[in-house]
Amino acid sequence: MNNNSLIYAKNIRKNFHQGKKELPVLKGIDLQVQRGEALCILGSSGAGKSTLLHILGTLDTPSSGQVYFQGENLFLKTDDELASFRNKHLGFIFQFHHLLSEFTALENIMMPARIAGLSKAECQDRAKELIELMGLTDRSAHYPTEMSGGEKQRIAIARALMQSPDILLADEPTGNLDTANGNKIKDLFLDLQRRLNLTIIVITHDQNLARSFPRILQMKDGRWL
Ligand SMILES: Nc1ncnc2c1ncn2[C@@H]1O[C@H](COP(=O)(O)OP(=O)(O)OP(=O)(O)O)[C@@H](O)[C@H]1O
Ligand SMILES: [Mg+2]
């Protein structure tokens, strides 16, 4: 067994219960991801991609199997320990940005640090750096309804980077964008991976997005193809 990888998922199975029926959705997935890798998981709708990403991100538990982070078995942690693990080590990006509408762009970026207990003053500089990295300094005071789809997604990426995570987990990050904005987000991911040595796992059914990634795994019916 090699669990020196940044992430090592071993024989992950997930069944959903529908009344008396059991629906197997992940059927024994193994995955190793090294630090600094940019991985794209490609599969058609219903293949089990989001289910797997949620398990890798400890937002859901597998029916059986283990997920190790730097050799540590994550599902032995308590819920509180997992919440703080996610806050410290993982950044999530979803198809819909999930920005909080009553906060400005800059405040949304700060949110993970604020949740971790930092004051506004303590995290403002980092948030400003990130908004600049996204090229959106002039949108700092805009509320989510005052930004375009691509801008909101870049703010969501900045928010995911706020705590300097080890891994970015993205679920259809370009699903809601036109081709030009989708390409910008894709370039941004690959640039971040190179410059910050970030580990990135993106799931998508978009072959165009997948094509640029150095590592692609294809999933079908809860298994690797
Ligand atoms: N909570 C649940 N209860 C029952 N079935 C579920 C549940 N969540 C997902 N499923 C089923 O599991 C299968 C895989 O779902 P999942 O969301 O992982 O697919 P996906 O590959 O992300 O698809 P898409 O590209 O459409 O987002 C689907 O057939 C779905 O209906
Ligand atoms: Mg999905």
CA of 49 to the centre of ligand 1 (A): 8
Query: Could you say which DSSP state residue 75 is in?
Result: G
Q: Please report the atom of ligand 1 found closest to the CA of residue 48.
A: 18
Nearest CA to ligand 1 atom 9: 51
Per residue in 122-156, is it b (16+ CB within 10 Å) or e — as a string? ebbebbeebbebbebeebbebbbeebeebbbbbbb
Three-class secondary structure of residue 34 per DSSP: coil
Decide: 130 in ligand 1 pocket, CB within 6 A: no
Nearest CA to ligand 1 atom 17: 50
Domains annotated on the chain, with CATH = 7-222 (3.40.50.300)
For ion ligand 2, residues whose CB falls within 5 Å: 50
CA of 101 to the centre of ligand 2 (A): 24
What is the residue-level pLDDT of the chain in tens, covering all 225 positions? 456 799 999 999 999 998 899 999 999 999 999 999 999 999 999 999 999 999 999 999 999 999 999 999 999 999 999 999 999 999 999 888 789 999 999 999 999 999 999 999 999 999 999 999 999 999 999 999 999 999 999 999 999 999 999 999 999 999 888 898 889 889 999 998 998 889 999 999 999 899 999 999 999 999 999
d(CA 180, CA 186): 10
Decide: 43 in ligand 1 pocket, CB within 6 A: yes
Burial class (CB in 10 A: 0-12, 13-18, 19+), 95: middle
Decide: 205 in ligand 1 pocket, CB within 6 A: yes
d(CA 133, CA 118): 21
What is the reported pTM? Answer: 0.94
